[in-house]
Amino acid sequence: MDFKNRDVISVKDFSKKEINDILSYAKKMAPYAKGEKHTNILKEKILSSLFFEPSTRTRLSFESAMHRLGGSVIGFADPSATSQKKGESLADSIRMADSYSDAIVIRHPQEGAARLSAEFAESPVLNAGDGAGQHPTQCLLDLFTIITEKKKIKGNKVVLLGDLKYGRTVHSLAYALSLFGAELTFVSPQSLKMPKEVINECKDFGVEPSSTSNLEGAIKDADVLYVTRIQKERFPDAEEYNRVVGTYRVDNELLKYAKEDLIVMHPLPRVVEIDPQVDKTPHALYFKQAFNGVPVRMALLSLILGGRRI
Ligand code: CP
């Protein structure tokens, strides 16, 4: 399989076989991601890291991944300190990053910004989240986490909880989990239900997701509970946000309804939706999940930039 110089805009850009290949390669990357083994396969390669929206995990794990592979990183985390502040267009900023580096990672508040950037760049563009659109590398690390913990995806009962309307991670994940044959249940406030087009994509793979507002009932036989934050920054109306924030909270009381081996995932950051007491239980997988961003992004960068495998 040839990944060299490919853009990563949506998880839909990859076939199931290609996703499996990336995830297998990410497993090989794990000791390098932890610093137990060392490599220089991306020596002399430069990554542009352009974050037009706040991030902790995606930005730092991409940077860590690039450094662990022997490459270097340029970029910004604060667009107000760039010439965007003087009115420069996204296209021109991308043209510049393209001329200074070998690949571009971009996070942007506008849906479609990553795909647009790919049109102006000759180098590969990796979407690190575009508004309420896609977050393909998060999706890959989520799949990697489930496979690592549960050994397979097919047949696992996965509950997606929270902001299913604006949540870009759950849109990509619902698609990918259906591709791999998981069983899906959606739990959200009425106003934040999973969009119809995402449900239809699941159905295209023969998966019939169920929807409920009864979280206790939904987690009873679940293997994976994937929690998301209600994202204040995506709401056009503050009152609508205030109506739904705090609707669901995962705590140890709720987890009494769960199977012993239920894993709780969250793309993070969390605010109020998971009680910190849950962190101490064997159910809590979200910090390990966030670490998995490093081997997965190492695998992708290596395949896209290097062409040579470890
Ligand atoms: N999961 C995720 O995208 O986290 P950040 O917003 O911190 O990058």
Check whether residue 70 and residue 156 sit in a common domain: no
Nearest-Å Rg of the Cα atoms of the chain is 19
Question: Are residue 44 and residue 17 in the same domain, yes or no?
Answer: yes
**List of residues 6+ apart from 203 with CB closer than 8 A:** none
Closest CA to 179 of 146, 147, 151, 154: 154
Phi, psi of 41 (to 5 degrees): -65, -20
For residues 133-157, one letter each, b for 16 or more C-beta atoms within 10 angstroms of the residue's C-beta and e for the rest, the string is bbbbbbbbbbbbbbbbbbeebeebb
Q: Is 232 marked active-site?
A: no
Which pTM does this prediction carry? 0.95
Annotated active-site residue in 58, 145, 169, 185: 58
* Structural domain count of the chain: 2
* pLDDT bracket for residue 307 (50, 70, 90): low
pLDDT at 243: 80
Phi, psi values for residue 28, rounded to 5°:
-65, -30
Residue 173 in this model has a pLDDT that exceeds 70: yes
Ligand 1 center to 20 CA (angstroms): 23
Q: Kindly tell me if the per-residue pLDDT of 197 is higher than 90.
A: yes
Closest CA to 290 of 55, 109, 22, 113: 55
60 and 161 in a common domain: no
| Of 19, 26, 10, residue with least CA distance to 292 | 26
Q: How far is CA 231 from the centre of its chain?
A: 15
Percent of the chain predicted with pLDDT > 70: 100
Res 27: pLDDT? 98
Q: How far apart are CA 166 and CA 20, in angstroms?
A: 27
Residues 127 and 182 in one domain: no
Average pLDDT over residues 253-267: 97
- Which residue CA neighbors atom 4 of ligand 1 most closely? 57
In a domain, 6, yes or no: no
Mean pLDDT, rounded, for 292-297: 98
Give mean pLDDT, residues 192-210.
96
Q: Ligand 1 pocket: which of 49, 50, 56, 232 to mutate (most atoms <8 Å of CB)? A: 56
* Domain membership flag for residue 26: yes
Query: Is residue 1 a part of any domain in this protein?
Result: no
Mean pLDDT, residues 75-85? 95
Per the residue annotation, which of 45, 68, 135, 297 is the catalytic one? Answer: 135
Atom 3 (ligand 1) nearest CA: 58
228 is catalytic: no
CATH number at residue 189: 3.40.50.1370
pLDDT digits (tens, 9 = 90+) for 88-146: 999 999 999 999 999 999 999 999 999 999 999 999 999 999 988 899 999 999 999 99
pLDDT in tens, 47-72: 999 999 999 999 999 999 999 999 99
| Domain interval for residue 28 | 11-133+292-304
Q: In the predicted model, what is the mean pLDDT of the chain?
A: 95
Q: How large is the average pLDDT for residues 196-202?
A: 96
